[in-house]
A and B are shown apart, each in its own frame.
Chain A
Amino acid sequence: MTYILKPQLHHPNLPKNGLGFTRRDYEGSVSTLCAGCGHDSISAGIIQACFELELPPHRVAKLSGIGCSSKTPDYFLGASHGFNTVHGRMPSVLTGANLANRDLIYLGVSGDGDSASIGLGQFAHAIRRGVNMLYIVENNGVYGLTKGQFSATSDRGSKSKKGVVNHDTGIDMVGLALQMGATFVARSFSGDKDQLVPLIKAGLAHKGAAFIDCISPCVQFNNHNGSTKSFDYVREHNEAVNRLDMITPRDPITVGYQPGETVKVQQHDGSILALHKLAELYNPTNRAQALGYLQARQARGQIVTGLLFVDPEAGDLHDAVGTVDTPLNQLNEAELVPGQSALDRINQALR
């Protein structure tokens, strides 16, 4: 653990975004995670993404559960709203917060223990309801805080640091999210920020349930030979299907790729996802194809990364339940308690 504060001094040429903030303004306190933790790289990726999107920090709510991953919201966006919930219950609290105030940008941060074990049910339901959020699982395949037991996402046959072989099937969070109806699904790697940062930006801009499974090596307990979530293993088996450029409405479009190699997808907010194809036949807007592709590649031992599925026309929970545009927490008493005559009208309609 680092005891000193990160120095306030910064590079003299550090750029500012449209709000006048530098990247450093999106930082939080110094990480207390183990040195070299993949989670810290994801935090750096979130900081970079929010800086580039020019998000006002007070418009962001970051929620997490319990675990190494769920500690990380302390280490980024120090000026944003935060809620550290009970173990595995972040999705419900996030859903409630989102229902109460639809104006904030919701970022759920969780880990493989928090989302694939104790919170699996919560995870599945938040996704299938289409809560407008970016849900990031910082997936290291191990219980780091309790010193290295297999987690629910550890692959069958992978080895623990002590050499024990895992006999249980690992849960594939990406497959689960696709099946639960997530409208934006990606997988990335903490060791590849060039890939990760645009995915976070696109996920934050996506309307509906966006999910990123980010493999994040645990340097302390899961970065050895026999692990399938080590730096070396992921680098060797990484199969990126595409490279994403996230183009916000105010960015000039300067994409230097040949036509035919790039697919452009426009999201609700006007942002354009320019996807540069790396796997020739991969179509990121076909859910069934994505599931099949993933399973076939997984069987070959490959780790498929990139933007795996996106539905640009997706709606969210508010659309489904027909809430008013004004956030519920801003409605006044007269609007919330319309009186006996309104109740009578409702009752009448149900007769």
Chain B
Amino acid sequence: MQRTRELEPDYFHKVVDCQWACPAHTPVPEYIRLIAEGRYSEAYMINWKSNVFPGILGRTCDRPCEPACRRGRVEEEPVAICRLKRVAADHKDDVTGLMPPPAARPNGKRIALVGCGPASLTVARDLAPLGYQLTIFDKDTKSAGMIRSQIPRFRLPEEVIDEEVGYIHALGGVEMRFGTPIDSLKALVAQDYDAIFVGSGAPRGRDLDLPGRQEAAANIHIGIDWLSSVSFGHIDKIGRRVIVLGGGNTAMDCCRTSRRLGGEEVKVIVRSGFEEMKASPWEKEDAMHEDIPILNFRVPKAFTHEDGKLTGVLFEIVKAEFDDRGRRRLVPAGEPDEHHACDDVLVAVGQENAFPWIETDIGLAFDEWHMPQVDPATFQSTIPNVFFGGDAAFGPKNIIWAVSQGHDAAVSIHKFCQGEDIAVRPPPGATLVSQKMGIHEWSYDNDVSNDLRYRVPQREKAEALKSVRVEVELGFDLSQALAEAQRCLNCDVQTVFADKLCIECDACVDICPMDCITFTEDAPDTEDGEGDLRERLKAPATNLTQDLYVSGKLPTGRVMAKDEDVCLHCGLCAERCPTGAWDMQKFYLEMTHAGGQRG
């Protein structure tokens, strides 16, 4: 079969599971090593270049990296990547000197950005150093969009938002116009900007049109609007008994916020089963920790009311049934309906895009779901100089997706303004460097820690529930951060095999703690290129999402096949190799952003 072509950039990138899973492809192991070395500012800057909001994401990211983390496959839990990011943000020195300098002079191009959320701010961060004049419009009175309006302060303090928006502002050429809703794209286009970026998010919370909705309207609130009113100080209390409808992260923010505004008896009630809820497991855990029960398999039927005042919600009890194809249906469980009394209801059953401000006659095409037609690679709309990104482009996702899309849109806008072909995307930059320092010395710590995942210390519950502005998580202290950082397996330090040097002595096979390496008969070429190789390995390679690393034919006619799945990157194969056929080489990949900036 074909020898693995590991030098094609995707091969080793995939081995770094966290980086591969991250939409912005942040070089995670590299910054974790810097944290372990106490080099917090450098760790912060690696993050900043890649994901723009390390302090914010270190508290709020949906962490697609963590379920991907190899540690979760060899032990119980992944490395606390997200909260280590926060460590870099909390403990860095003044980083203003490390930021890109403002452009020497403007390049004469003017860009309008609609909405001041993470997508627009990322576009501004990428384009400002190149000399663009950027004007950001937002309906709110402050920056950061949903980061500020929807994420409660007890999870994300205001100073962190101001600091990280401040770094973008300081790049120069960025003008932020608050309290300025854009109500006509036509009018904006008429202002002759060189390009327009729409990063207006998914601002409309879904409602529940049930009996009683109108009559009891005074005590039924749309989750994201209510959170926003709390964030901006317009609402500071809620009834004693609160029901939150919905099972996503917004619902978790709603119920926990209610607990801090006078809600003593707060319940989350969801249609689906507890396991299928959209909320991240840790957010559910945090809610339950604050004495908020989560009741599942209950479909709201009606809002009950008396004399124009809400009295509660009526639920039908359902159960899950699976059809032949394994699809789930919720069917009545045959139990009597259940009434839950309450004073207020928060509806957090999803959010939608809304573009009432885009005229239908200006050439911008929408798809059948009333979403603008946007190219998924370039983020260009059907009007060539109008680009979309973040939730406005493809519906509600998380901050890290908005950042990633903002980077891509900025690449397109820059190329568009320079008259280049926006379909040609810049490849990432990658290096592969040996980490060998001496016979058995490596420039990374290859001694694998046996520690289990550390918990982030939290503020005492009674204290935390007193105010909506007191941050609950205290962040790792430095000794915990070091210990947690040591749990990282350094997956970016790759096991690189040189066929020509191998004498087939089996030393690597014997020492490998995870049975990753096998010398075996070559497999004939098949469509997927692996034949029955996966079953013939020392430990059968059953995780098909992980590649096999296969050598060319060796002198005995066999091949070396390594299952990347559970490799600890401990380097023992290379330490025990007498000929240097195995080497530990650091693979460092950075994405290429607008104007060739890397991060």
Interface membership of chain B positions 439-466, coded 1 if the CB is closer than 8 angstroms to chain A and 0 otherwise = 1100000111010000000000000000
**What is the bound-complex CA distance between A40 and B511, given in angstroms?**
9
Interface residue B555 (Cβ < 8 Å from any Cβ of A): yes
Interface residues of A in 17-46 (CB under 8 A from B): 24, 30-31, 34-38, 40-41, 43-44
Could you say which residues of chain B place their CB within 8 Å of the CB of A11?
514-516, 539, 566
Q: In angstroms, how far is the closest chain A Cβ from the Cβ of B537?
A: 10
A36 close to B566 (CB less than 8 A): no
A41 close to B505 (CB less than 8 A): yes
Q: Which of A1, A8, A35 has the most CB of B within 10 A?
A: A35
Interface residue A13 (Cβ < 8 Å from any Cβ of B): yes
**What is the bound-complex CA distance between A37 and B511, given in angstroms?**
12
Interface residue A14 (Cβ < 8 Å from any Cβ of B): yes
B576 close to A12 (CB less than 8 A): no
B556 close to A1 (CB less than 8 A): no
A4 close to B447 (CB less than 8 A): yes
Cβ-closest chain B residue relative to A3? B440
**What is the bound-complex CA distance between A34 and B542, given in angstroms?**
34
Could you say which residues of chain B place their CB within 8 Å of the CB of A40?
507, 510-511, 576
* B: number of interface residues (CB 8 Å): 35
Interface residue B90 (Cβ < 8 Å from any Cβ of A): no
Using a Cβ cutoff of 8 Å, how many contacts connect chains A and B?
Answer: 96
Known A-B contacts A4-B447, A9-B514; A193 and B506 likewise in contact (beta carbons under 8 Å)? yes
**What is the bound-complex CA distance between A8 and B540, given in angstroms?**
20
A35 close to B576 (CB less than 8 A): yes
Could you say which residues of chain B place their CB within 8 Å of the CB of A31?
511, 576
B539 close to A1 (CB less than 8 A): no
B570 close to A7 (CB less than 8 A): yes
Could you say which residues of chain B place their CB within 8 Å of the CB of A13?
539-540, 542
Interface residues of B in 161-189 (CB under 8 A from A): none
Q: In angstroms, how far is the closest chain A Cβ from the Cβ of B383?
A: 52
Could you say which residues of chain B place their CB within 8 Å of the CB of A36?
503, 505, 507, 576-579
Q: In angstroms, how far is the closest chain A Cβ from the Cβ of B126?
A: 40
B576 close to A191 (CB less than 8 A): no
Q: In angstroms, how far is the closest chain A Cβ from the Cβ of B506?
A: 5
Could you say which residues of chain B place their CB within 8 Å of the CB of A9?
74-75, 448, 450, 513-514, 568
**What is the bound-complex CA distance between A3 and B445, given in angstroms?**
12
**What is the bound-complex CA distance between A305 and B118, given in angstroms?**
70
B448 close to A231 (CB less than 8 A): no
**What is the bound-complex CA distance between A314 and B539, given in angstroms?**
38
Interface residue A217 (Cβ < 8 Å from any Cβ of B): yes
A35 close to B507 (CB less than 8 A): yes
Interface residues of B in 290-313 (CB under 8 A from A): none
Could you say which residues of chain A place their CB within 8 Å of the CB of B568?
7, 9
Interface residue B575 (Cβ < 8 Å from any Cβ of A): yes
B515 close to A217 (CB less than 8 A): no
Interface residue A110 (Cβ < 8 Å from any Cβ of B): no
Cβ-closest chain A residue relative to B538? A11
Please tell me which one of the listed residues A3, A7, A217 contacts residue B505 in the complex, with CB atoms under 8 A apart: A217
Interface residue B504 (Cβ < 8 Å from any Cβ of A): yes
Known A-B contacts A9-B75, A11-B539, A36-B576; A219 and B513 likewise in contact (beta carbons under 8 Å)? no
Could you say which residues of chain A place their CB within 8 Å of the CB of B579?
36
Known A-B contacts A4-B446, A35-B577, A219-B578; A10 and B513 likewise in contact (beta carbons under 8 Å)? yes
**What is the bound-complex CA distance between A2 and B448, given in angstroms?**
14
Interface membership of chain B positions 552-577, coded 1 if the CB is closer than 8 angstroms to chain A and 0 otherwise = 00011000000000101010100111
Q: In angstroms, how far is the closest chain A Cβ from the Cβ of B544?
A: 15
Interface residue A223 (Cβ < 8 Å from any Cβ of B): yes
Interface residue A232 (Cβ < 8 Å from any Cβ of B): yes
Cβ-closest chain B residue relative to A1? B440
B505 close to A219 (CB less than 8 A): yes
Q: In angstroms, how far is the closest chain A Cβ from the Cβ of B160?
A: 36
Interface residues of B in 367-381 (CB under 8 A from A): none
Cβ-closest chain B residue relative to A235? B556
Interface residue A320 (Cβ < 8 Å from any Cβ of B): no
Q: In angstroms, how far is the closest chain B Cβ from the Cβ of A42?
A: 10
A219 close to B540 (CB less than 8 A): no
A2 close to B576 (CB less than 8 A): yes
Could you say which residues of chain B place their CB within 8 Å of the CB of A235?
555-556
Interface residue A6 (Cβ < 8 Å from any Cβ of B): yes
B506 close to A191 (CB less than 8 A): yes
Known A-B contacts A1-B440, A4-B446, A219-B578; A12 and B506 likewise in contact (beta carbons under 8 Å)? no
Q: In angstroms, how far is the closest chain B Cβ from the Cβ of A222?
A: 12
Could you say which residues of chain B place their CB within 8 Å of the CB of A10?
513-515
Query: Beyond the given A4-B447, A36-B503, could you list 13 further A-B residue pairs with CB under 8 A, ordered by the A residue number?
Result: A3-B440, A7-B568, A7-B570, A11-B566, A12-B73, A13-B540, A34-B578, A36-B507, A40-B510, A44-B509, A219-B505, A231-B503, A235-B555
27 A/B residue pairs, CB under 8 Å, sorted by A: A1-B439, A1-B440, A2-B572, A2-B575, A2-B576, A4-B446, A4-B447, A4-B570, A6-B511, A7-B450, A7-B513, A7-B570, A8-B450, A10-B513, A10-B514, A13-B542, A24-B513, A31-B576, A35-B577, A35-B578, A41-B506, A44-B509, A44-B510, A191-B506, A220-B578, A232-B503, A235-B555
Please name the 7 residue pairs, one residue from A and one from B, whose CB atoms are nearest each other, closest first. Answer: A36-B578, A44-B510, A7-B448, A219-B578, A4-B447, A36-B505, A35-B578
Instruction: Give chain B's interface residues, CB within 8 Å of chain A.
Output: 73-75, 439-440, 446-448, 450, 503-507, 509-511, 513-516, 539-540, 542, 555-556, 566, 568, 570, 572, 575-579
